[in-house]
């Protein structure tokens, strides 16, 4: 198991993840802020991600999910743009949210919520905790990356992820997910998806700055009458210690396929190991006592 387990679970509400990972004088923690209120569903982020990272195509099967040909995040989809159709009036103030028109030309009681999903690069990353080979590691930018040349395909990280992000590639067996374009970050470049986004729905930068920017954006939308606007994953006091990739949503998280209250799945490992150790010590003590008694009895015959 990773040595980060204790650090992940026992640190404060928002530990310095890079210092906890052994880096000295690291750069600011970097992340994504995805503002779904201005996403136009163009899927430029998906294409840019695939091109830069040489990710296989997903196939050309009809999914039955509106214009969504990829359905969800997986080993071959590191950015996924969802098209969520709702029988709900858009409201005149919800700028940036596409809506359908009725056959007569007037607005219908339907709206599309579009959102580009990605790995959350959690503060308390359960995938790091369970990886037995060190294939998963925390970068100096605070992101979480899989080293495919070290991954042994055990699959432990897949159920450990509270968001269902990590996946194994068919015919390969190893785990794959978003790296936040780690190679580009090292060269001072922004991730390919953020670079390609034409509306700045995907914003990249220092995580603290993004959180401040996102809070101002929510206030702006509230002032415009978009009462449902809220942030998801930005709170360092949530069940994963805050996400390195967080979102502005226009409805409940469940509508977007996101868990409403994600919790790091390895949060109880420390206490489990403690109780297991106590139980094992008690068992060994009992066995030693039995052998001692039997040994004394045998010696007296």
Residue 298's pLDDT is what? 57
Helices and strands (H, E) in the chain, number of each type: 9, 11
Distance CA 100, CA 187 (A): 42
**Contacts made by residues 249-254, CB under 8 angstroms, sequence distance 24+:** 249/36, 249/115, 250/36, 250/37, 250/94, 250/97, 250/113, 250/226, 251/84, 251/86, 251/113
pLDDT digits (tens, 9 = 90+) for 243-278: 999 999 999 999 999 999 999 988 655 554 444 555
Beta strands in 188-237 (DSSP E): 202-206, 230-232
| CATH 3.60.15.10 describes domain 4-267 | no
Mean pLDDT of the chain: 83
How far is Cα of residue 218 from the mean position of the Cα atoms in its chain?
A: 21
pLDDT digits (tens, 9 = 90+) for 286-295: 666 667 766 6
Q: Which two tokens stand for residue 187?
A: 């060269």
Report how far apart, in Å, the C-alpha atoms of 89 and of each of 36, 94, 98, 175, 283 are: 17, 10, 11, 41, 64
pLDDT digits (tens, 9 = 90+) for 33-91: 999 999 999 999 999 999 999 999 876 666 666 677 778 899 999 999 988 888 876 65
Beta strands in 1-56 (DSSP E): 30-35
């Amino acid at each position: 198991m990773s040595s980060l387990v204790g650090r992940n679970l026992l640190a404060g509400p928002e530990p310095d993840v890079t210092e906890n990972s052994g880096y000295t004088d690291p750069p600011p923690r970097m992340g994504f802020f995805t503002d779904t209120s201005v996403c136009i569903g163009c899927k430029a982020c998906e294409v840019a991600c695939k091109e830069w990272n040489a990710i296989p195509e997903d196939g050309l099967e009809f999914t039955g999910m509106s214009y969504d040909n990829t359905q969800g995040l997986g080993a071959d989809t590191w950015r996924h743009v969802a098209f969520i159709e709702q029988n709900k009036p858009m409201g005149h103030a919800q700028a940036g949210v596409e809506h359908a028109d009725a056959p007569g030309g007037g607005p219908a009681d339907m709206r599309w919520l579009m959102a580009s999903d990605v790995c959350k690069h959690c503060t308390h990353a359960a995938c790091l905790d369970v990886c037995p080979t060190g294939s998963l590691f925390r970068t100096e930018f605070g992101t979480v990356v899989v080293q495919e040349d070290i991954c042994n395909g055990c699959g432990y990280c897949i159920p450990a992820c509270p968001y269902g992000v990590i996946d194994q590639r068919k015919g390969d067996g190893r785990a794959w997910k978003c790296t936040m374009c780690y190679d580009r970050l090292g060269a001072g470049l922004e991730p390919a998806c953020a670079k390609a986004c034409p509306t700045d729905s995907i914003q990249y930068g220092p995580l603290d700055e993004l959180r401040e920017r996102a809070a101002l954006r929510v206030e702006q939308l509230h002032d415009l009458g978009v009462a449902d606007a809220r942030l998801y994953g930005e709170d360092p006091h949530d069940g994963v210690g805050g996400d390195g990739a967080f979102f502005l949503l226009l409805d409940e998280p469940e509508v977007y396929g996101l868990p409403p209250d994600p919790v790091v799945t390895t949060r109880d490992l420390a206490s489990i190991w403690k109780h297991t150790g106590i139980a094992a010590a008690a068992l060994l003590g009992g066995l030693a006592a039995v052998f001692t008694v039997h040994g004394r009895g045998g010696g007296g015959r």
